[in-house]
Chain A
Amino acid sequence: MEKKDIKHIVKTFYNALEEGKILGRKCTKCGHVEFPPYLACNICGNLDTEWHEMSGKAVAMQIMAPSFGFSDKSFRDRVGDYCVGSVKPEESGELVTCFIGVSPGRVDELRGKIPFPVRPIIIQEDGYKMVFWELDE
């Protein structure tokens, strides 16, 4: 392997967010999308993946209010109301995330609607952007 064979994965993901694009890596064998992007496929074990722009279609699979002891208070100060839980993008696996703009008071109502549709929202952080999810109502 030479240096030129080592392409940026993490940096490419964050750079794409600056342009409003959300990237994963699609397995060239089974078609599973690794999101966020990794080198190889965690479903079939194939070692080759290629860049894939996420559709943005997703559903929330679990939702909880932020906890008193373990939530990040500075995050709430920056983004306002949010809840925590898990999201399942249509092309990839389920992962933990935050649902931005969702009041903790809505958890019981929303739990009854699982899986409910959400859409991505890109948030500016300190020197980089990150993707979270908001209700697609």
Chain B
Amino acid sequence: MGYQVKLNPLKPLSRSVSIIGIGATPFMLTMDDPETDGLCEGELFGYAAVEAMKDAGITAKDVDFYIHAQAGPTWQSQVGTPNMHVANWFGMKGKGSCHHSEACCTGYVALEQAVSYVASGAYDIVLSGACDMSYSVAYPDRPAFMRRSGDDRMFRDTLNSIFPKDYTLESYAALDVHSEIWLDEYIHENGIADKIDDVLCVLARDSRRAAALNPLSLCNDTYDELAVKYKMKDADTFLRSKFNPFLGRYLRASHFEQRCDGAGAFIVCPTDMARRCTDHSVEILGIGHSCLEISTPRLEKYATETAYRQIRDLTGLTGADMDLFMANDFHMSSQFLAAEACEYLPENEGWKYAFESRTAFDGDRPVQTNGGRCQYGHAHGTSGIHDYYEVVKQMRGEMGPTQVKRPVNYAMVRGYGGGQNLTCAILKSNA
């Protein structure tokens, strides 16, 4: 029994839209590293935007409109009009722009927004980007290069701020159940209570292996390397040690997001224009979108299924047709739960695929090949843009050591967050 969402069918875009350029800064703890300490929002967004425009082979003059995204601009940056705070940084002074914020789903909605602007016919070339500094937070009244730690207490207050204050926050249950209520049901439906720690530790090890090979990742060491550092036998020993305690009922510290700073941007335009200007554009076939407020039990499951049904019915493609799946796994179990809900993995077998490393970047059903939110890092509103970056680069065959084994022609990107938005996009390589 559960909440069944019935939405009107998703309609085809008025004109097809493709990504022609993409850019991303590394995910960083900027204030902890002398090389990056003092970096701030305008320049990070600017670097990502400039890289995306260069990647597309265009200049700022060619862009008609830009969209700025950030999860919680008041919390991180102490600003109320964030699109204006980056406005002078990438050559588009005077152009129209707007801002949106859907917490951890922001970067996924960023694509939906950009696609809508172009598909409507209002603009031909739109830049959509995000910058989040969740770790190195601004002061309210000091220059932006001066930062302070966005510590756990501040972050907990921020998490509470995504719960509606009419009734949900006062339930005292929403935050506590949120990350594990779907997993709890799945564990007991599949009778894997005695196996789930093994599954999640394998998943953490494999995801970290991908993250350590990715130059944009926050983490550059594997769990095997960490085990050596702590004089332990191997990664499994480390992952079950006191250095990786349970924070939830099933999830350990290594199964939760790692907060960080970073930016990303992409350029979209009509597909017919994209085909003329580049041979490696990526078409967006559509984006399903369902939102459930956080008082709904297992909302991640129901809204994921709904967003997936929308895009499946629109395109006629299923998860089984995909070559890559991205999940926005800020609690790591989402990798196999979401992949199963979207039929990328067989029903009730997602945990087995994860346990057998078949969902690793070098497995036969790769999921979250950048390492994901728990190992690659989570710069909240920007993470979705980095997932799209990963998909575009995988489709181009440019991911080097983490390039998946077979050609990536189709990818599904499940976005999640914002208390809570769930999106499901299907992307297709035009190469």
Contact = CB atoms under 8 A, between A and B. Distances in A.
Q: Decide if A and B are genuine partners.
A: yes
Given A36-B166, A84-B173, A85-B173, A68 B248 contact: yes
B176 A95 contact: no
A123 B246 CA distance: 30
A61 B188 contact: no
Interface stretch (B179-187, B223-231, B257-265, B403-411): B179-187
Contacts of A125: 170
Interface string A61-77: 11011111111100100
Contact of B2 (A65, A72, A85, A94): A94
Contacts, number: 87
Most chain A CB inside 10 Å of its own CB: which residue of B168, B171, B179: B171
Interface string A29-63: 00000001000000000000000000000000110
Interface in A67-103: 67-72, 75, 84-86, 88, 93-98
Contacts of B245: 68
B1 A66 contact: no
Interface string B139-174: 000000000000000000000000000111011111
B297 A67 contact: no
B188 A67 contact: no
Nearest to B170: A130
B285 interface: no
Contacts of B298: 62, 86
A113 interface: no
Interface string B246-278: 111100000010000000000000000000000
A111 to B, nearest CB: 7
A122 B120 CA distance: 51
Contact of A94 (B168, B171, B175, B297): B297
Contacts of B185: 62
A10 interface: yes
B1 A96 contact: no
Nearest to B152: A69
Nearest to B185: A62
Interface in B369-398: none
Interface of B: 1-3, 166-168, 170-181, 184-185, 188, 245-249, 256, 294-298
Interface of A: 10, 13, 36, 61-62, 64-72, 75, 84-86, 88, 93-98, 111, 125, 128, 130
22 contacts: A10-B166, A36-B166, A36-B167, A61-B1, A64-B177, A64-B181, A67-B176, A69-B247, A69-B256, A70-B175, A70-B248, A71-B176, A84-B173, A84-B177, A88-B1, A93-B296, A94-B1, A95-B296, A95-B297, A96-B295, A98-B171, A111-B188
